[in-house]
C-alpha cells in the first residue's frame, strides 16, 4: 500500500467538510486524479443506506450497541471496497471521520467500553489506520451553532451538550495518546487561515510529489 490516508476529525460544525474540499482542490494541483474525498458514515452505496438509518430513520430506537455495530459495518464496507483499493493504487484518500470518531462518540460520548470499540474498529479496518489525522478542535457550542442554522438537527446533533463535550474530551485524549498521528488544529479561526495551516502540515510530511513548473 503506497497511498496516503488523511482523516479529518472534530465535533459538529468544526469545519471538516469545508477544509477537506479545499485540501482536495489544493492537493489536486500536485496530483490531479489521484485525490479521493470520502466520508463516514456513507462513503459507499451500502454506507449511504446505513447513514440514513443512523442519522435520520432510527431516531431514539437504536441501542448503543447496535449503533456501534452499524458504524463498524459502514467502515468495513468502506475500507474494503474504496479506501484500500485507492491506497493500493497510490492515491491520497481524504476521509471525513474514521475510527477516532467511534472512539470519541461511542466511547467517550456514549460511555461504551473502549476495548470493545477497539475490537470493532479492528474487525472493520483489518488494522488500517490513518497516516495523519487532522483534528479540527472547536468549542462544541460554537460548532453546534454553526450547524443548527442550516436547519433540522439530525439524531446525533440533538444529543445533549455534555455528550458533545465528552466527545471533544475524547479527541483530546486520543491526541495525547497518538501525538505522531493526530495533529490538533484550532478551528475557531478564519477558514483561510486554517487551510493555510493544513497545507503547511502536509508540505512538512514530504508526501507530495515535486510540482511541475508551469510553462
Ligand atoms: N459518528 C459517530 O457517532 N461515530 C462514528 O464512528 C462516525 C460518525 C464515523 C456524522 O454526521 C455523525 O456521525 C456525527 C458523528 C457520528 N454526529 N453528529 N452530529 P455528519 O457527517 O452529518 O456531520 P459532521 O461530520 O459533524 O459534519 P458537519 O456537522 O457538517 O460539520 P463539519 O463538516 O465539521 O463542518 P462544515 O460543514 O464544514 O461547516 C459547518 C458550517 O460552519 C458551515 O455553514 C460552514 O460554512 C461553517 N464554517 C466552516 N468553517 C468555519 C469557520 N472556520 N468559521 C466559521 N464558520 C465556519
In this predicted model, what pLDDT tens digit does every residue of 24-71 receive, in sequence order?
999 999 887 799 999 999 999 999 999 998 887 666 678 889 999 999
* pLDDT > 90: percent of the chain: 80
Phi then psi dihedrals of residue 179, to 5 deg = -65, -25
Atom of ligand 1 nearest to the CA of 98: 9
- Residue with cell string 488544529: 185
pLDDT of residue 101: 98
Cα(14) to centroid(ligand 1), Å:
6
Cα(146) to centroid(ligand 1), Å:
9
Taking CB atoms and a 6 Å cutoff, what residues make up the pocket around ligand 1? 10, 12-18, 40-41, 71, 96-97, 101-102, 105-106, 146-147, 150, 154, 156-157, 187, 191, 194
Burial class (CB in 10 A: 0-12, 13-18, 19+), 179: exposed
CA distances from 2 to 67, 74, 92, 103, 189 (A): 32, 24, 9, 26, 33
Cα distance between residue 33 and residue 27, in whole Å: 10
Cα(46) to centroid(ligand 1), Å:
21
In this predicted model, what pLDDT tens digit does every residue of 153-191 receive, in sequence order?
776 767 788 999 999 999 999 999 999 999 999 999 999
Amino acid at each position: 500500500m503506497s497511498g496516503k490516508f488523511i482523516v479529518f476529525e472534530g465535533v459538529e460544525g468544526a469545519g471538516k467538510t469545508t477544509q477537506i474540499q479545499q485540501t482536495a482542490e489544493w492537493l489536486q494541483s500536485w496530483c490531479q486524479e489521484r485525490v479521493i474525498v470520502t466520508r463516514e458514515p456513507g462513503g459507499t452505496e451500502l454506507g449511504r443506506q446505513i447513514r440514513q438509518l443512523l442519522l435520520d430513520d432510527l431516531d431514539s430506537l437504536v441501542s448503543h450497541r447496535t449503533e456501534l455495530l452499524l458504524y463498524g459495518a459502514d467502515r468495513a464496507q468502506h475500507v474494503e471496497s474504496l479506501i484500500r483499493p485507492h491506497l493500493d493504487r497510490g492515491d491520497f484518500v481524504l476521509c471525513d471521520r474514521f475510527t477516532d470518531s467511534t472512539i470519541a462518540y461511542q466511547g467517550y460520548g456514549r460511555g461504551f467500553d473502549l476495548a470493545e470499540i477497539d475490537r470493532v474498529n479492528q474487525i472493520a479496518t483489518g488494522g488500517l489506520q490513518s497516516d495523519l489525522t487532522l483534528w479540527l478542535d472547536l468549542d462544541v457550542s460554537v460548532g453546534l451553532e454553526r450547524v443548527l442554522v442550516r436547519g433540522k438537527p439530525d439524531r446525533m446533533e440533538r444529543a445533549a451538550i455534555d455528550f458533545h463535550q465528552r466527545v471533544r474530551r475524547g479527541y483530546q485524549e486520543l491526541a495525547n495518546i497518538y501525538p505522531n498521528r493526530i495533529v490538533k488544529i484550532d478551528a475557531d479561526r478564519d477558514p483561510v487561515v486554517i487551510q493555510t495551516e493544513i497545507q503547511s502540515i502536509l508540505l512538512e510530511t514530504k508526501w507530495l510529489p515535486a510540482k511541475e513548473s508551469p510553462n
